[in-house]
Structure 1
Amino acid sequence: MFEGRPNRGAEIVFCGRSNVGKSTLLRELTGHDFQTGQKPGVTRSPGHYDWNPEDFVLTDLPGFGFMSGVPDEDRERIKTDVVQYIETHAEKILVGVLVIDGKSAVDIIDRHTERGDIPHDVELFDFLRDVGIPTVVAVNKMDKVDDRDERLNAICERLGLPSPWQQWQDTIAPVSAKRGSIGPLTDAIGSHLHEQKRDDLLKFF
């Protein structure tokens, strides 16, 4: 189990597969440099961005799924640790942000489904909602996607949300972290914070 979480009463967690751009997204949000790397699986323990003196922390959970050079049992352990972390702190987590790669997510989900597996992204989305955490899917790398609406509709359908995607703007946030285009994500997070009467945290987004 991960150690070293700051003692904070409120948290937003970022999770998702390796190499989907979580750390870049967090850097764009906070101006703080999270550990990033070209190789998947660089982030192996959570990164916490702690806003002193606010009772609030942003957490970058390790990526999971395929990582070149990482044994299967290590990958499984990381995924288990991520799930346990979310479960343990669920009451304090105001929003869970699942980051996916807009260009490849549908293909990856379909590949797993065809093999009879539950795709990680779908599993994590359902899990966040099952433990009562308001969930936003940050669909990253949208600058590389041509058929934007079709792709976002397909992602919604894979996650069990009826299309069109536009009716899910509190849940589906198309972004391009590298280009600094993250408005839909900050809007979605802001709406969930407002619903939970945490307007004091809106200044961070």
Structure 2
Amino acid sequence: MFETRPDRTDEVALIGRSNVGKSTIMRELTGHTFTTGGKPGVTREPNHYDWASEDFVITDLPGFGYMQGVPEERQESIKTDIVHYLEEYADNILVGVIVLDGKSAVDIIDRHTTEESIPHTVEMYHLLRELGVDTVIAVNKMDKVDDRDDRLDAIADRFGLLPPWKQWTDTIAPITAKKGNIGALEDAINSHLEDHKRHDLKKFF
């Protein structure tokens, strides 16, 4: 279980598979660069960023799912630690952000969907909803997607959100973090902060 969380009440948490760009989003949100492992599965602990004067923290949880060269038991233990973290701090997490790679997300979800199993990313989304955590799906790397609206409609569908995606702008945020284009994510997070009456935190997004 992760033991690194600062003593802060409120939190925004980034959750997603390895290599979807969570660290880049974290850098864009905080202006701070975090050291991450050069290969998937290296980052075993969350990266937290908090402001000394604020009772608030942004957390980038380790990537989960298939990681080349990482034993299956380790992949599962990372996922289990993330689930436990989300369960433990559900009352503190104002917004959970599921980060996807816009180019590959639909293929990955479809490849892992069977009668017996739900893909990890979809599972995490439903877990957050069950825990009562407001959830945003940040669809990253949209600069590499040609059929933008079709792709976003397909992603909405995979998460049980009836297309068209544009009726879910507080839930689905198309972004390109590497180019600093995260306005849709900031808007979505802010809409949920307003619901929580946390207007004071909007200055961070």
Shorter-chain TM range is over 0.9
Q: CA deviation at 1:44?
A: 1.2
Q: CA deviation at 1:114?
A: 4.3
Q: CA deviation at 1:35?
A: 2.4
Code of the aligned partner of 1:28: E
Q: CA deviation at 1:115?
A: 7.3
Out of 84-93 and 115-124, give the one that drifted further. Answer: 115-124
Runs of 4+ in 1 over 3 A off after TM superposition: none
Out of 79-88 and 115-124, give the one that drifted further. Answer: 115-124
1:3 aligned onto 2:3: yes
Gap runs ≥5 in structure 1: none
- In structure 2, the residue matched to 1:162 is 162
Code of the aligned partner of 1:144: K
Code of the aligned partner of 1:98: I
In the alignment, the residues of structure 2 paired with residue 50 and residue 95 of structure 1 have an alpha-carbon distance, to the nearest angstrom, of 15
In the alignment, the residues of structure 1 paired with residue 149 and residue 32 of structure 2 have an alpha-carbon distance, to the nearest angstrom, of 31
In the alignment, the residues of structure 2 paired with residue 43 and residue 4 of structure 1 have an alpha-carbon distance, to the nearest angstrom, of 13
Q: CA deviation at 1:4?
A: 1.9
Code of the aligned partner of 2:31: G
Q: State TM-score, norm by structure 1.
A: 0.97
Map 1:40-189 → 2, pairs under 5 A: 40-114=40-114, 116-189=116-189
TM-align CA RMSD: 1.1
| 1:157-185 deviation line (CA, Å, top 9, x unaligned) | 00000000000000000000101100000
2:4/2:45 contact within 8 Å kept:
no
In the alignment, the residues of structure 1 paired with residue 85 and residue 159 of structure 2 have an alpha-carbon distance, to the nearest angstrom, of 22
Query: Secondary structure in 2 aligned to 1:113?
Result: coil
Code of the aligned partner of 1:95: V
Identity, % of aligned pairs?
Answer: 67
In the alignment, the residues of structure 2 paired with residue 169 and residue 178 of structure 1 have an alpha-carbon distance, to the nearest angstrom, of 21
Q: CA deviation at 1:37?
A: 4.6
Code of the aligned partner of 2:58: L
Out of 165-174 and 35-44, give the one that drifted further. Answer: 35-44
1:193 aligned onto 2:190: no
Code of the aligned partner of 2:195: E
| 1:128-154 deviation line (CA, Å, top 9, x unaligned) | 011000000000000000000000000
2:138/2:173 contact within 8 Å kept:
yes
In the alignment, the residues of structure 1 paired with residue 118 and residue 92 of structure 2 have an alpha-carbon distance, to the nearest angstrom, of 27
Code of the aligned partner of 2:82: V
- In structure 2, the residue matched to 1:12 is 12
Q: CA deviation at 1:42?
A: 3.0
1:35/1:43 contact within 8 Å kept:
no
In the alignment, the residues of structure 1 paired with residue 72 and residue 87 of structure 2 have an alpha-carbon distance, to the nearest angstrom, of 23
Gap runs ≥5 in structure 2: none
